[in-house]
Amino acid sequence: MGRMDDWAEGLRIEALQQAADTFFGARRAVDQDRSVLLAWAQELRRVSQKAATWTAALNCVLGGEDNSRMLFHALGIPLPDESMYRIQACMVQFPRPRSLTRQGLYCKIVWSVYEHLADLLYEYHHGRPVRDPKFPGQVLHTPSYGQVMKFCAQLNQRIHDTNACHIPSETLGFARRLDPTTQDQASLLGGQAELCSFDTSLALPPVDPKSLGLMPWPEPPATEEARKKVREVCSHIFQHQRQVAEEVLRSTLHAHDKQLCIVEGPDQPPAA
């Protein structure tokens, strides 16, 4: 009889171990995927912040909100936040372009700023190639906006399935049923009711896509199409708002660092 008791005890411990591995293993897998998702989102937020900076710089060289709206409307890529049309960051760095005419030079300056923004928007939606640190010679891609949002939806579905398939009260109830003595004592003391509250308190929370802090930046149009639209808008500004173009040219040509484009606002002193 002693051997039977030992065999039953060993079987009970093994069943408990398997139940625990299944329950906690599923939750650990979800937590690992959640960590990956948050890391991807953090990397994309850095790209988004750079895009916001170059958008503000583009607002500067265009002369303000109205001209910015005109260009982005012509390009067919509305900004994800209305405030972005008004924010200006009057210091950006890029190689100073050259042209035979002042109008051509102004267009190239605007294009240089836009080109940086377009590259960031492309990276935001398609990622960029990077070397695999673990396997030299192989190339990986950084996460993209669509990839992150798809992964978020898949993770939420997995969280839903995990909560439905690995219910805490059922797992604890199974563990108690393996020990008849403990189960009898719990039933006498009315200890079964508290199990149901675990299903709510221990349920894995889904990921709110908004909590990732990712903005729905638009994808840039094809390069040649964008170049044509930028040229048209710049020509319009040069012909009808000449003072805007001349201020940009003056700041660019006479900055201390010729690689630095400095555009002063109306309340700022001119560059020395």
Span 144-152, average pLDDT: 95
Contact (CB, 8 A) for 227 and 75? no
Best mean pLDDT range from 43-47, 99-103, 245-249, 264-268: 43-47
Q: Is the pLDDT of residue 211 over 70?
A: yes
Does residue 6 have a pLDDT over 60? no
Per-residue confidence band for 2, with pLDDT thresholds at 50, 70 and 90: low
Q: What is the DSSP string of 135-162?
A: STT-EEE---HHHHHHHHHHHHHHHHHH
Predicted local confidence at residue 88, as pLDDT? 81
270: pLDDT strictly greater than 70: no
Q: Which residue has the higher pLDDT, 128 or 132?
A: 128
Please state the pTM of the whole predicted model: 0.75
pLDDT of 215 above 90 = yes
- Residue 209 has a CB neighbour count (10 Å cut-off) of 14
Q: What is the pLDDT of residue 265?
A: 42
Residue 53 gets which letter from DSSP? H
Rounded mean pLDDT of 90-99?
69
Closest to 38 measured CA to CA, from 151, 157, 123, 120: 151
Residue 210 falls in which region: left (phi positive, over 0), alpha (psi -120 to 50) or beta: alpha
pLDDT of 56 over the 50 cut: yes
CA distance 210 to 188: 48
pLDDT digits over 151-210, tens only? Answer: 999 999 988 887 877 655 555 554 555 555 555 445 544 445 455 555 565 677 899 999
**Rounded Cα–Cα distance for residues 128 and 43 (Å):** 12
